[in-house]
Structure 1
Amino acid sequence: MTSIDVQHHALHIDGKAVDTDESMTIVNPADASVVATVAKGTASHIDDAVAAGKAAFESRVWAGKTPQERAAIMRAIADAANDAIEELVELEMSANGATVRQATGFHIGYALAHFTFFADLADTYQFVRPAPVVTFPALAQSVVHREPLGVVGAIAPWNFPLLLTLWKVGPALAAGNSVVVKPDEHTPLSMLRFAEIAEANGLPAGVLNVVPGDGRDAGARLASHPDVAKIAFTGSTQIGREIMKLASGTVKEVTLELGGKGPSIVLDDADLDLAVDGVLYGCFTYSGQICESGTRAIVPRSLHDDFVARLVERARTIAVGAPDDWDTDMGPVIDGKQQARILAYINDAVDAGAQAVIGGGVPEGEQFQRGYWVAPTILTGVDNSMPVAREEIFGPVLTVIPYDTDDEAIAIANDSEYGLAASVWTTDNGRGLAVAEQVQTGSVWINDAHQINAQVPFGGYKQSGVGRELGPDALDAYTQAKAVHVDLSGGRDAKPYDILLSHADD
């Protein structure tokens, strides 16, 4: 891993760097080296950030700009961030172990492209929507205004720190809101730098505040703060439930993108070479640390042994190694706690009768003795009732589950508390579409995986979340509707008052 100077980073509140008494240590997952220290925000710092956001919102220094003015500033921010992409990539991958290819293209490149999408959306979004003229109970014209909510709280995870934060910050800013971000403790660096870039390129102070800190303190305060109108959260289903409880105290709006246990359904007419590559890509990209990863390969029993043999042969070619090497396909997992958790799932499954046909532990080699590594692992002998097939592991572990009929495959896919994403592998698109209609997930990819398009809504069924991010209506989640009615009758001649007052003198 390329070393960087160990620097100290402050909170970003009201356009100022704010230091604190306590610091958090940012560790490189590849070798457990310290890459930075960051001021640790508390509930009181969240209070300060919310106050700054509220003051900025009420001053209308941002909300009062036209959508076109906001869009132009957001594009300038995206351009400046793109000029700093190498720095952002280094900050991101040094903290979360993403490979340089993934960090450059998906983590940072995608993030800035999506931020630009939200800027463009501000240009075209209908903030004022005339309704038809009505004649009853009076001649009137109604107009619906989509107005910003106020202060929005964004709580982001460690796996895609900038991308998933900008999925929230982008539409919130485009709509005219102020934002307070609580990034994950492992990975606040790229978002802190983005906030500096944003204010250097036209975003007024106080509109975007970033407060790294502990979820139980800073995060909980943000979710329960009475002056925060909405919480947008990406993370585990367990924490999502807690966020909902905290938000309910002040009836906040919530958007939750939570866990997944994605099925990859291989039909008996699939192109097996394509399906093998696709299933491996769907599971092992970014060491399986993606919520919509396809961690359950649901395979025809008649093809099971052949398919598994192909999976193993192809998986042996996955290059596991240093994240800053452009030839590396898969890097480490986020930390020692998660490494131990993943290995425990594997060991428990093997104890219950599953077989690790490849992987199952830490990769061999001296370079893997430091840092937090798990080898790409494929488990057979698994049924859908086992914890390894039901619970979100968030690591490079693929379970292979056989089936006999298409209906059984669909039933296995749907037998989950999660419903975020699925893939279907077939040479018959019509058949694939028929299966997709029956799968209970927010996204279904036919002969593809991880296909997330800013123009298409993303979110989950069941306990995979509430609401949707992205898509042409993304600003709906960051605005509220106000109906304004204008009487066109010229006064009381329209008679609605007569209905109310007809017996007033009785």
Structure 2
Amino acid sequence: MSDIPTYGLHIDGQRVETGQWMEIRNPQNNVVVARVAKGGSEHIDQAVAAAKRSFESGVWSRLEPVDRSRTMAQIAAQLAEQIDTLLAAEIMANGATVRQAAGFHVGLASGHMNYFAELAARYEFERAVPPALYPTLGQSIIRREPIGVCGAITPWNFPLVLTLWKIGPAIAAGNSMVIKPDEKTPLSLLEFVRIAEECGLPPGVINVVPGVGEEAGVRLVEHSDVGKIAFTGSTAVGREIMSSAAATVKRVSLELGGKSPSILLDDADLDLAADGILFGCFLYSGQMCESGTRVLVPRSLHDEFVARLVDRAKTIKLGAIDDWETDLGPVISGAQQARIMELIRSGVDEGAKLVLGGGVPEGPEFEQGFWVEPTIFTEVTNDMRIAREEIFGPVLSVLVYDDEEEMLRIANDTIYGLAATIWSSDNERALDLSKKLQAGTVWINDHHQVNPSAPFGGFKQSGLGRELGVDCLDEYTEPKHVYLDLSGKRESRPYDLLLSHVD
């Protein structure tokens, strides 16, 4: 164990040992790269107590927003300064290539944290509404106050930046937090909390308890002192969290699964669309909730466009994740690899045509770890499992349509509604089509473009609530109405509706 780094839980500013360890394995070769203390329900209780003490002390919650903003800006600056440390911690656990991680997984962290820092300074924590003239003269003030202790359960695919989407608005509003990261990928978040406290974030404001969902996650959701749960993950687990949170009537926001359509119109730039659709589906081996895993193609363009997709996909280079020349890395785990391969087999069994990939790449470097080739199916219908289930792997299904009515029916025929993409050279036509798609984000002639100023979340069973955007602090505050009487006189008030006036 001495040669492998070890991490503890992080509670009230301290490393906490538990006597139990979880192994962190590099998905490219299945080698153990770190060990992390395993937290259970009792450690969640300790972390919630620390967060509650921190909140009630006012050491962070009662700071002026501009002071919270200043500390958060320092954290953002340090995320940029220590990007190499964060990159190493991220990719060794989740298998992202260093190029992708530098651009997305870790590269977005500093800018997004800086956005939340700016929001902390300019968010409208208090506003007056027009005075009431009847039944008496009075002034109402609306205050947005922090909830208290907020819990977050975060995923393995973007363990740093997707957690920051919760941390940023929560602490900007003055809350304290307990975070249960995915047990496979807690390293970059543990590095983050170290950086944050070095920048002046008080101990207890952010507490991190790695552990398994059935123990630590369940306790966090059920805890009566936790006022809000934010979760990113599968729709199935999201349903369970929503149900469990109802027992204590806590606020819940859920960012869940997707089966996003990429819609090719007959006037699209085919070269641009081919590259964009492959980027939309295969980036990070398709392990992104908004990946465009269904491409809808006009029948007249089908053969030509599929040929372009296959030719370009053949140029994707799989290899070592720390090599800047590598395009695509492994999937996260053996269990995930097995599930992807089972779904690929189901596509073949249900009559889809496999035109690229479908297996494990050949070569000694792929004999260990969890690898899946970029895979493309044609002759897919929307009732097949590969068209309906979220695969979370590098699998693209091509579906054909004959007219806009059929295209919209296929695109919207899903329990999900996270994102969609339109490829067209006619902006007006594409914008009009965007109104008819049931999706929380619609990209036109691009994919995976996340703007921190715009809300992110889904329709239908893709989630509840929104992250990012100018109003994201609303999810982490409670509105309070304060009424101030301005009449000053007993006779001007409506008390005689109950009590007769006595001279």
Aligned residue in 1 for 2:343: 345
Aligned residue in 2 for 1:183: 181
Q: Which amino acid aligns with 1:448?
A: D
1:210-289 aligned within 5 A: 210-289=208-287
What is the distance in 2 between the residues matched to 1:69 and 1:310? 53
What is the distance in 2 between the residues matched to 1:152 and 1:216? 19
What is the distance in 2 between the residues matched to 1:66 and 1:293? 40
Aligned counterpart for 2:405 among listed residues 382, 403, 407: 407
Give the Å deviation of 1:498. Answer: 2.2
Aligned residue in 2 for 1:441: 439
What is the distance in 1 between the residues matched to 2:171 and 2:279? 34
Name segments (4+ residues, structure 1) moved above 6 Å: none
What is the distance in 2 between the residues matched to 1:222 and 1:86? 32
* Identity across the alignment (%): 61
What is the distance in 2 between the residues matched to 1:319 and 1:63? 48
Aligned residue in 2 for 1:206: 204
What is the distance in 2 between the residues matched to 1:387 and 1:457? 30
Q: Which amino acid aligns with 1:362?
A: V
TM-superposition CA deviations, 1:449-490 (whole Å, max 9, x none): 011100000000000000000000010000000000000001
Report SS of the residue matched to 1:463: helix
TM-superposition CA deviations, 1:24-47 (whole Å, max 9, x none): 000000111110000000000000
Q: How many pairs are equivalent?
A: 502
- Taking structure 2 as the reference length, the TM-score comes to 0.98
Aligned residue in 2 for 1:452: 450
What is the distance in 2 between the residues matched to 1:240 and 1:340? 23
Query: Contact 2:76–2:109 at 8 Å: present in 1 too?
Result: no
What is the distance in 2 between the residues matched to 1:385 and 1:111? 38
Aligned residue in 2 for 1:470: 468
Moved more, 248-257 or 486-495: 486-495
| 1:141–1:342 CA distance, 2 compared to 1 (3 A) | same
Query: Contact 2:165–2:468 at 8 Å: present in 1 too?
Result: yes
**Gapped regions of structure 2 (runs ≥ 5):** none
Q: Which amino acid aligns with 1:429?
A: N
TM-superposition CA deviations, 1:198-219 (whole Å, max 9, x none): 1111011111000000001000
TM-superposition CA deviations, 1:215-252 (whole Å, max 9, x none): 01000000110000000000000000011011111000
Aligned residue in 2 for 1:128: 126
Aligned residue in 2 for 1:81: 79
Report SS of the residue matched to 2:35: strand
1:159 and 2:157 matched = yes
Aligned residue in 1 for 2:194: 196
Report SS of the residue matched to 2:435: helix
Report SS of the residue matched to 1:394: coil
What is the distance in 2 between the residues matched to 1:155 and 1:116? 22
- Taking structure 1 as the reference length, the TM-score comes to 0.98
1:472-491 aligned within 5 A: 472-491=470-489
What is the distance in 2 between the residues matched to 1:47 and 1:419? 35
Give the Å deviation of 1:334. Answer: 0.1
1:90 and 2:105 matched = no
Aligned residue in 2 for 1:365: 363
Q: Which amino acid aligns with 1:256?
A: L
Report SS of the residue matched to 1:161: coil
Aligned residue in 2 for 1:329: 327
Q: Which amino acid aligns with 1:381?
A: E
Query: Contact 2:173–2:477 at 8 Å: present in 1 too?
Result: yes
Query: Contact 1:5–1:35 at 8 Å: present in 2 too?
Result: no
Query: Contact 1:269–1:428 at 8 Å: present in 2 too?
Result: yes
Q: Which amino acid aligns with 2:113?
A: F
Give the Å deviation of 1:157. Answer: 0.2
What is the distance in 2 between the residues matched to 1:365 and 1:146? 58
Report SS of the residue matched to 1:501: coil
Aligned residue in 1 for 2:8: 10
1:13-32 aligned within 5 A: 13-32=11-30
Give the Å deviation of 1:495. Answer: 2.7
| 1:313–1:237 CA distance, 2 compared to 1 (3 A) | same
Report SS of the residue matched to 2:248: coil
Give the Å deviation of 1:270. Answer: 0.8
Report SS of the residue matched to 1:95: helix
Give the Å deviation of 1:103. Answer: 1.0
Aligned residue in 1 for 2:353: 355
Report SS of the residue matched to 1:398: strand
Query: Contact 1:267–1:406 at 8 Å: present in 2 too?
Result: no
1:489-500 aligned within 5 A: 489-500=487-498
Give the Å deviation of 1:5. Answer: 5.7
Query: Contact 2:86–2:106 at 8 Å: present in 1 too?
Result: yes
What is the distance in 2 between the residues matched to 1:450 and 1:501? 64
TM-superposition CA deviations, 1:395-452 (whole Å, max 9, x none): 0000000000011111100000000000000110111011110000000001010111
Aligned residue in 1 for 2:293: 295
**Gapped regions of structure 1 (runs ≥ 5):** none
